[in-house]
Structure 1
Amino acid sequence: MLKEEKISGRAFIGSDFDLLDVEITLENGIVTDIEESLNVSERWIVPGFFNAHTHLADTIAMDMEAPGNLSELVAPPNGLKHRLLREAHPSAIIDGMVSSILYMQNSGVFGFCDFREGGIEGVNLLKNALSKTGSAGVILGRDGGESYADGIGVSSTKEGGDVIQRAIETKKRGQIVAFHAGEKDSRDVDSALDAEPDMLVHCTHATDSQLKRIADMDVSIVVCPRSNWRLGVSWSSANPPIKKMLDYGCNVLLGTDNVMFVQPDMFSEMSFASYAYDIAPIDLLKMATKGSSFFNKPFYIEKGKPASFFTILPSCSNMRFSHSVQKTITNRMNKGDIERIYFKHIEK
């Protein structure tokens, strides 16, 4: 049976995020028509977010007392998080991941890319969690798990061993290759680029020459500003050099990193990046969404695409006084401001 629904309001349309007054027609969860209109409801229609870097299994250690530097906390194989994961019961890890995925969905995040530790078993735990949620998840495995996932997520070339060879083999299979790089310093950026990855995460301390090389190679960068500050690898707006990344023409995506330290909330991530790095609101919105397109799960509001957006009623709060829809969404919104979620898998 055909189920038709019409939603009217001010919407961000297409990959350029053109802000237009429109009426959107849905048929069985698919956008079948977008018509500009002069008389629309007082409603904002926003494409769903994609969290381009997570470690969801860390949910089991949320806000645990964790003194120590970056390596002591998260570096494999014996960083605190890795020890906790080895000791945790699989059902607890799954429960934690499901809870964080549902939190993301309810805050407008319909997809994510997760670096999944634990080899094949670790990948299967996240697949189990995904089966319970309907989210558009991308899994990058490690320690042999990459063969059963969407690709490989390498901690750093500094971990040595055969990680470069594994990345090369993953690339040959046509899967995604991603590295943490440049988080503490710039020493592992060039070696990661030598493996011709699809994506680098952090680049907190990437140099100008490295950023140019990244742009020339068309390698995407995922920045995680709150995590960088929380873990003490950033202390100013120069790190990560987000403005330089954008100026060089890099494809910059937004992620939240370890749930152990940072809530997987893209509203908070955008707000922090706005204030601490002075990034333009439209750039932040694109960074928070276009990871979906990079991972071939586009959430743009376009005719023929599955519904992947949420709505806001500014009249229900002080947001009705906004002079800039983009700035208000990136600086002030939280999940409580969402009127309704339209996502083909989790319609609410």
Structure 2
Amino acid sequence: MPELRDCIVLHGPDLVPHRARRFAWVHDTITAIELGEPCTQLDTGALVVIPGLYNSHTHMGDSALPDGATGLTLEQAFFRPDGYKYRELAKLSEETHLPHLVAHLGYMARCGVVCHLDFREQGLPGARLLRKASEQTGVQSIILSQFNESPIPEDQLRANLSPLPETARLELEQILTIADGFSESTMNDLTDNAWREIRDITSARRKLRAIHCLENPGYRDLSVATTGRGDLIRALEIYDPHLVVHMTAANADEIALLARSGKTAVLNPRANAALGLALPPVAALLAAGANLLLGTDNGMLNSPSILAELDFTFKVAKSQFADALRPDPTAILKMATSNIRPALGGDHFGHLAHGLPASFVILDFTAPHLRATRHITASIVGRVTPADILATYHTGRELYRAPAFTF
């Protein structure tokens, strides 16, 4: 039975640091957590065990094009059909593309990630390719696919009357044999009737639904011009997504609407900053009680380091609160851990307790810059880097271990 002794464990959904006499697992399950007293600071260091991290919004397909969006606008880089991303991805064969996916999933494991939610382009072939990379690395890929090509012509989109074309319906059925769910880029990409059909098809197959909303004001403006409603309220009313991504341009009414809906929002502050967009209203969303997750977004824009995202988001939230006391760093860490539970359910707990899946990360808090921390959780959020991760496990499978680490 593998185990650690005399360590620190962030225990339960509230991620409370405790001294632990013993932390043990057998196969895919945590079999023992012998807790001692709560512990918020260290004097001489310790190994710290935290839940495996979730990167809840990625586009790993374009990880093959790092920094390819430099010097391009959002539309020039990412919009279908002629954006740089789609033109370049079309040039890649499976043999040339797969190694990039495998390498970047491996890097996520190096950063403590056990699972990511990917908004995968290229239809069914794109989903199959990412599934292959996931199986090779052990990092769980929850794949939310989109159509390979836009299925409704622009003039029909603006009329907002067309149903989902039969060819698109057949493509969706095929996609859902591999993918875990569906997400077109924006609500403006399909008509209300098409969205309703997709909602019904995915519901019948118990698949996830996600959508990008309010990444910039143009998303709202085009939706209002087409349908008389903003993209967020339209998504909630006719598509019923499990995840709403971005919320960057959300106003007070839209923040309140999201919070009332009980839906989960995924924020991507570093990607928004890289594109010169406004930063998402992290503080206002936290204050409203919305359930929030974090993602690193496009591989072209960012390294898929959720550690960097935690650090950046913590500081953005402090600046927005204009308050040195808010938010508590635990609220930010939950965005990569236990906040996943309301969104995904099932075996996705995002926290550590006896009998739960053995998905965890071992941090080296004996390192000189961490061993005398006065606040363990704040140091996890704001100071830990990939170099401080000793091992990452997902349901008992070792995804990464530092060469010199033994136990």
Which whole-Å CA distance do the structure 1 matches of 2:11 and 2:37 have between them?
16
Return the offset for 1:328: 0.9
Residues 1:271 and 1:231: Cα distance change in structure 2 (over 3 Å): same
Which amino acid in the other structure matches residue 198 of structure 1?
H
Which whole-Å CA distance do the structure 1 matches of 2:199 and 2:81 have between them?
18
Return the offset for 1:88: 1.3
Deviates more, 1:22-31 or 1:48-57: 22-31
Which whole-Å CA distance do the structure 2 matches of 1:251 and 1:226 have between them?
19
1:190 paired residue among 220, 233, 254 = 233
Return the offset for 1:121: 1.0
In the alignment, is residue 264 of structure 1 matched against residue 312 of structure 2? Answer: no
The residue number in structure 1 matching 2:183 is 153
In the alignment, is residue 332 of structure 1 matched against residue 383 of structure 2? Answer: yes
Describe the superposition over 1:278-312 as per-residue Cα deviations: whole angstroms up to 9, x where unpaired. 14311111001135433232231111122211222
Map 1:113-124 onto structure 2 (within 5 A).
113-124=117-128
Residues 1:232 and 1:4: Cα distance change in structure 2 (over 3 Å): closer
Which amino acid in the other structure matches residue 153 of structure 1?
S
Which amino acid in the other structure matches residue 19 of structure 2?
D
The residue number in structure 2 matching 1:318 is 369
Structure 1 unaligned residues grouped into runs of 5+: none
Deviates more, 1:218-227 or 1:4-13: 4-13
Residues 1:8 and 1:77: Cα distance change in structure 2 (over 3 Å): farther
Return the offset for 1:248: 1.4
Map 1:278-297 onto structure 2 (within 5 A).
278=318, 279-290=327-338, 292-293=340-341, 294-295=343-344, 296=346, 297=348
Return the offset for 1:172: 3.5
TM-score computed with the length of structure 1 as normaliser: 0.92
Which whole-Å CA distance do the structure 2 matches of 1:76 and 1:7 have between them?
52
1:131 paired residue among 135, 141, 161 = 135
Q: Tell me, yes or no, if the aligned pair for 1:43 and 1:314 is still in contact at 8 Å.
A: yes
Q: Tell me, yes or no, if the aligned pair for 1:282 and 1:326 is still in contact at 8 Å.
A: yes
Return the offset for 1:230: 0.5
* Structure of larger gyration radius: 2
Return the offset for 1:169: 2.4
The residue number in structure 2 matching 1:205 is 249
The residue number in structure 1 matching 2:25 is 26
Return the offset for 1:25: 2.2
Return the offset for 1:92: 2.0
Which whole-Å CA distance do the structure 1 matches of 2:72 and 2:38 have between them?
57
Q: Tell me, yes or no, if the aligned pair for 1:50 and 1:290 is still in contact at 8 Å.
A: no
Which whole-Å CA distance do the structure 1 matches of 2:195 and 2:98 have between them?
26
SS of residue matched to 2:266: strand
Q: Tell me, yes or no, if the aligned pair for 1:11 and 1:46 is still in contact at 8 Å.
A: yes
Which amino acid in the other structure matches residue 247 of structure 1?
A
Return the offset for 1:4: 4.1
Matched-pair identity in %: 28
Residues 1:168 and 1:89: Cα distance change in structure 2 (over 3 Å): same
Q: Tell me, yes or no, if the aligned pair for 1:154 and 1:163 is still in contact at 8 Å.
A: no
Deviates more, 1:247-256 or 1:30-39: 30-39
Which amino acid in the other structure matches residue 180 of structure 1?
H
SS of residue matched to 1:247: helix
TM-score computed with the length of structure 2 as normaliser: 0.79
The residue number in structure 1 matching 2:213 is 181
Q: Tell me, yes or no, if the aligned pair for 1:50 and 1:288 is still in contact at 8 Å.
A: yes
Which whole-Å CA distance do the structure 2 matches of 1:17 and 1:66 have between them?
38
Q: Tell me, yes or no, if the aligned pair for 2:69 and 2:77 is still in contact at 8 Å.
A: no
Which whole-Å CA distance do the structure 2 matches of 1:119 and 1:323 have between them?
48
SS of residue matched to 2:137: coil
The residue number in structure 2 matching 1:241 is 281
Q: Say which structure, 1 or 2, has more relative contact order (CA 8 Å, 6+ apart).
A: 2
Structure 2 unaligned residues grouped into runs of 5+: 40-44, 148-170, 221-230, 319-326, 402-407
Which amino acid in the other structure matches residue 349 of structure 2?
P
Residues 1:4 and 1:263: Cα distance change in structure 2 (over 3 Å): closer
Q: Tell me, yes or no, if the aligned pair for 1:211 and 1:245 is still in contact at 8 Å.
A: yes
Residues 1:39 and 1:288: Cα distance change in structure 2 (over 3 Å): closer
The residue number in structure 1 matching 2:114 is 110
SS of residue matched to 1:346: strand
SS of residue matched to 1:262: coil
Return the offset for 1:321: 2.3
Q: Tell me, yes or no, if the aligned pair for 2:16 and 2:38 is still in contact at 8 Å.
A: no
Q: Give the root-mean-square deviation of aligned CA atoms.
A: 2.0
Return the offset for 1:316: 2.3
Return the offset for 1:256: 0.4
Describe the superposition over 1:105-138 as per-residue Cα deviations: whole angstroms up to 9, x where unpaired. 1110110000011111111111111111111210
Q: Tell me, yes or no, if the aligned pair for 2:69 and 2:301 is still in contact at 8 Å.
A: no
The residue number in structure 1 matching 2:272 is 228
Return the offset for 1:50: 0.4
Which whole-Å CA distance do the structure 2 matches of 1:79 and 1:165 have between them?
27
Q: Tell me, yes or no, if the aligned pair for 1:115 and 1:141 is still in contact at 8 Å.
A: yes
Return the offset for 1:223: 0.0
Which amino acid in the other structure matches residue 34 of structure 1?
I
Residues 1:253 and 1:38: Cα distance change in structure 2 (over 3 Å): closer
Q: Tell me, yes or no, if the aligned pair for 1:152 and 1:167 is still in contact at 8 Å.
A: no
Residues 1:280 and 1:271: Cα distance change in structure 2 (over 3 Å): same
2:101 paired residue among 97, 100, 105 = 97
Return the offset for 1:262: 0.5
Which whole-Å CA distance do the structure 2 matches of 1:163 and 1:68 have between them?
30
Describe the superposition over 1:241-264 as per-residue Cα deviations: whole angstroms up to 9, x where unpaired. 111111211110000000111011
